[in-house]
Amino acid sequence: MTRAVGRHKQLSSDAGSMIPLVLGMVAITTLLITVVTDVATMWLARRSLQATVDGAALAGSRAVDLAAIYAGQSRGSLRLNASEANMAVRDYLAASPSSHQLNAFRITTIQIMGATIHVQAEAVVRPPFVSLLGSHNVVIAAQASAETITR
């Protein structure tokens, strides 16, 4: 019977060692949740920005120079009308809900070279947990190109 009492005393002396382990696991889990949430917020915003810029480039690529086509000057690629392509990009972005939902969205470049249009834009993301530590805004950027060709 004394052996059973001795074993019981030995087991009861380890009872408090679980508290640091549980607190450590709670701290690690909280840290992982905050990091994953912030990274997911930035990734989704970047994805939305990329989709918006892709759509803008495609909209601009539809503004072909009809005068050059009718004059027979387009061989292999359809030249873009620069002013119409620029206007098509801006019209697309004005109608796009994602360009209004992204913070501080702005077009940085619309470049038209022959049959190719290149669009660049940027926006600001404010990750929810990092921003609690201070005003940490992250600038994200995206670019897209589209080309019109005939086959």
Per-residue pLDDT in tens (0 to 9) along the chain, 151 residues = 555 555 555 555 565 678 888 899 999 998 899 889 988 989 999 999 999 999 999 999 988 877 766 666 666 678 888 899 999 999 999 999 988 889 899 999 999 998 899 999 999 998 887 766 766 888 999 999 998 877 6
pLDDT score recorded for residue 80: 87
Strands (E), the chain: 103-113, 116-125, 138-147
pLDDT score recorded for residue 17: 77
Contacts of 74 (CB under 8 A, 6+ apart): 64, 65, 68, 150
pLDDT score recorded for residue 129: 78
pLDDT score recorded for residue 146: 92
pLDDT score recorded for residue 131: 64
pLDDT score recorded for residue 151: 63
Closest-CA residue to 93 (of 126, 57, 65): 57
pLDDT score recorded for residue 64: 81
Contacts of 84 (CB under 8 A, 6+ apart): 63
Q: What is the pTM of this model?
A: 0.75
Amino acid in position 82: A
Q: Say whether 99 sits in a helix, a strand or coil.
A: helix
pLDDT score recorded for residue 79: 83
